[in-house]
A and B are shown apart, each in its own frame.
Chain A
Amino acid sequence: AQKITQTQPGMFVQEKEAVTLDCTYDTSDPSYGLFWYKQPSSGEMIFLIYQGSYDQQNATEGRYSLNFQKARKSANLVISASQLGDSAMYFCAMRTISNFGNEKLTFGTGTRLTIIP
């Protein structure tokens, strides 16, 4: 069964500091995609970054980078130089496709990040 674990329900970080949000995953499928989404109070689920299971390099998108450690089954999100607008819920997710062609997107429970001025 697919599972995503986010162990940090909430984090407080000083503005301009870097922050790491933890995510571990579990799947028996050899191919999978890992995603991070940001959900501000407005409710919209905003896609941030994607990492494929066969990608050799860690994904980066502007201030976001994904620290992908396949052997440890972890996919932590790193936000550099945090800004007040980064305050939101952050969800880690994994998409898999089974041998029977069934696709599934599994979400973690999220981490609420609060940036302190």
Chain B
Amino acid sequence: ETGVTQTPRHLVMGMTNKKSLKCEQHLGHNAMYWYKQSAKKPLELMFVYSLEERVENNSVPSRFSPECPNSSHLFLHLHTLQPEDSALYLCASSQAQTLDTQYFGPGTRLTVL
């Protein structure tokens, strides 16, 4: 498998559920990112992991919890979400500390009921 993959592609969950989004990159990169894309809003950077260390957290609510066990895998753990958290969640990877391209996965479309 090549590129950046994300699972699941679609997720519907209740506000009391706990779920996790998974991202895997096969590009040999050492930085991974979570973005949130809501309808009619610019893309929002949520978390950055560079060399497996979290280097940025843009004031994301604690109901979103990232995990990066190695340079190829990234998770986003979700718990007690709100309906306004419904969005497309995109994972990306790149070479850290360069101006090289970020490559994106296909995204997980999340709906919170």
Q: Give chain A's interface residues, CB within 8 Å of chain B.
A: 31-33, 35, 37, 42-47, 50, 52-53, 91, 95-97, 101-105, 107-109
Contacts and interface: CB of A to CB of B under 8 A. Distances in A.
B104 A95 contact: no
Counting contact residues on chain B (CB < 8 A from A), the size range is: 20 to 34
Interface string B29-57: 00101000100001101001010000110
A103 B96 contact: yes
A50 B101 contact: yes
Given A43-B88, A45-B90, A101-B97, A107 B42 contact: yes
A87 B43 CA distance: 20
Given A45-B90, A103-B96, A107-B42, A35 B101 contact: yes
Nearest to A108: B42
Interface stretch (B13-21, B74-82, B105-113): B105-113
Query: Secondary structure of the A side of the interface?
Result: strand
A43 B107 contact: yes
A45 B101 CA distance: 12
Contact of B42 (A32, A47, A109): A109
A108 B43 CA distance: 8
Given A32-B99, A52-B99, A107 B43 contact: yes
Given A43-B106, A43-B109, A33 B99 contact: yes
Contact of B102 (A44, A52, A105): A105
Contacts of B45: 104-105
Nearest to A43: B107
